[in-house]
Amino acid sequence: MTPYALRLTVDYTFDRPLGAGRQLFRVLPAEVPGVQHVRRAAVTIRPAPAERMDRADFFGTKVIELAVPPGLEMLTFDLAAEVDRSAPELPLDMTPPVAALAAELAALRTLGPASPHHFLPPSPRIGALPEVAGFARDAGAGARTALETVMQIGRAIHRHMAFDAEATAVDTTPAAAFAQGRGVCQDFAQIMVGALRGLGIPAAYVAGYLRTDPPPGRPRLEGADAMHAWVRAWTGTEGGWIDHDPTNDCLVREDHIEVGFGRDYGDVAPVTGFLRLDGSHSGSHRVDIRPLSGQRSARR
């Protein structure tokens, strides 16, 4: 178990004063029993918003909804949190072959937030991806179990894709990112979600943070310097959900801090609202993740 201090600062400045506006922030770390515990989380917003509402969305992600008064020239959103995070227990591979998943899925009569039924059909940002599906069939060949399939697909995508922060934008489709073979964690994750769905494996998109400064003796993980994204795959009633990070080709561990999950990026976008406005704003965000008490890593 590693305790972290997490700090997120989002700054917006507007070229001309803004009309009244609303936006959603999905940035608070999640409470995940046995894996992740939030000791405290404090949000400061300057200037103070006209309204603030805190709630959870359908998938359980914590949402902060802000209404800001007209005439705003800048806005700062600041989150300071302390989170305990453990690596999820490594599963024994008792999962069935992928072909058997359909029957197990059909027997599950629930539409609760964690029901795999939400994560098999196409979603707004991850439609049918014929190219990716073909790629996934090849990549998954020979796998005996659903878990093996997930690992093989994750590795294949990691090899096919080059990490390139300049190659894609937030609205780049997974098909386009896959075609050019470059992108960031959002692209890696959405492509893998599409690949797994194409094989009949329900898959969710998970948003969170990643510690990129490694503990001594471990290689530096690759990722955006801020938010991160990975994949949650359903491996059957017995095996349940497995989190895999295709950007780093690994199962998620204590470096990953989860915010929430959904069908694709759109369900867990960190900020919704301002970004729709026509280019008359500029924004920046900074993330700082620091292990607490003695585990401080060497920062350069």
Partner 1 sequence: MDGPGTEAAQAGAMPGDYHPLPGVPDELMDAGGTLRPLWRDLIDHLGAMGAEGLAQATGRADQYLRDSGVFYRQYGAGQSVERPWPLAHVPVLIDEADWAQVSAALAQRADLLEAVMADLYGDNRLVSGGHLPPGLIAGNPEWLRPMIGIRPRSGHFLHFLAFEIGRGPDGQWWVLADRAQAPSGAGYALENRVATSRAFPALFAHQNVHRLAAFFRDFRDALLTLRTAGEGRIAILSPGPLNETYYEQAWIARYLGFALVQGEDLAVEGGRLMVRTVSGLRPLDVLWRRLDGNWCDPLELDPASRLGTPGMVAALRAGGLTMVNAPGSGVLETRALMAFLPQLAPVLTGAPLAMPNIATWWCGGATEQASVLASPDRMVLSPALGTGLPFDALGEARQAGSLRMADLAAWLAAEGPGLVAQEAVTLSTTPALVDGRLEPRPMSLRVFLARTAAGWQVMPGGFARIGASPDPAALAMQRGGSAADVWVVSPRPVPVVSMVTPAPGPYRRAPPGALPARAADNLFWLGRYVERTEGIVRLARARHVRLAEFGAAAQPLLDALDPLLMAQGADPEQGIPAGLLATLDAAMASAGQVRDRFSPDGWSALADLSKTAHRMATQVAPGDDAARALSALLRKLAGFSGLVHENMYRFFGWRFLSLGRLHERAMGMSAILAALADETAPPGALDLCIELGDSVLTHRRRFTVATSRATVIDLLALDPMNPRAVRAQIDGMHEQVGMLPGAAVHGALSPLARAMLRVQAEVATHTPETLTTAELAGLRDRIAALSDLLTEAYLR
Which chain residues interact with partner 1 by CB under 8 A?
Answer: 19-24, 50-51, 53, 57-59, 65, 67, 106, 108-111, 115, 117-118, 120-122, 124, 266, 272-273, 276
Question: At closest approach, how far in Å is the CB of 281 from partner 1?
Answer: 15
Closest residue by Cα to residue 132 from 185, 195, 179, 181: 195
Cis peptide before 47 (omega within 30 of 0): yes
Question: At closest approach, how far in Å is the CB of 120 from partner 1?
Answer: 7
- At position 165, the amino acid (one-letter code) is A
Element (H or E) spanning 233, and its range?
strand 227-234
Question: At closest approach, how far in Å is the CB of 24 from partner 1?
Answer: 6
- Residues 234, 127: Cα–Cα separation, whole Å: 19
> With respect to partner 1, which residue has the nearer C-beta, 38 or 201?
201
Q: Burial-class residue 189 by CB neighbours within 10 Å (0-12, 13-18, 19+).
A: buried
- Residues 131, 195: Cα–Cα separation, whole Å: 9
**From the CA atom positions of the chain, what is the Rg in Å?**
19
> With respect to partner 1, which residue has the nearer C-beta, 152 or 272?
272
Question: At closest approach, how far in Å is the CB of 264 from partner 1?
Answer: 12
> With respect to partner 1, which residue has the nearer C-beta, 47 or 58?
58
Question: At closest approach, how far in Å is the CB of 45 from partner 1?
Answer: 17
> With respect to partner 1, which residue has the nearer C-beta, 108 or 224?
108
Question: At closest approach, how far in Å is the CB of 125 from partner 1?
Answer: 10
> With respect to partner 1, which residue has the nearer C-beta, 276 or 300?
276
> With respect to partner 1, which residue has the nearer C-beta, 245 or 264?
264
What is the side-by-side order of every strand in the sheet holding 203-210?
250-251, 241-245, 227-234, 203-210, 256-262
Say whether 177 sits in a helix, a strand or coil: helix
Give the bridge partners for 22, in sequence order: 67
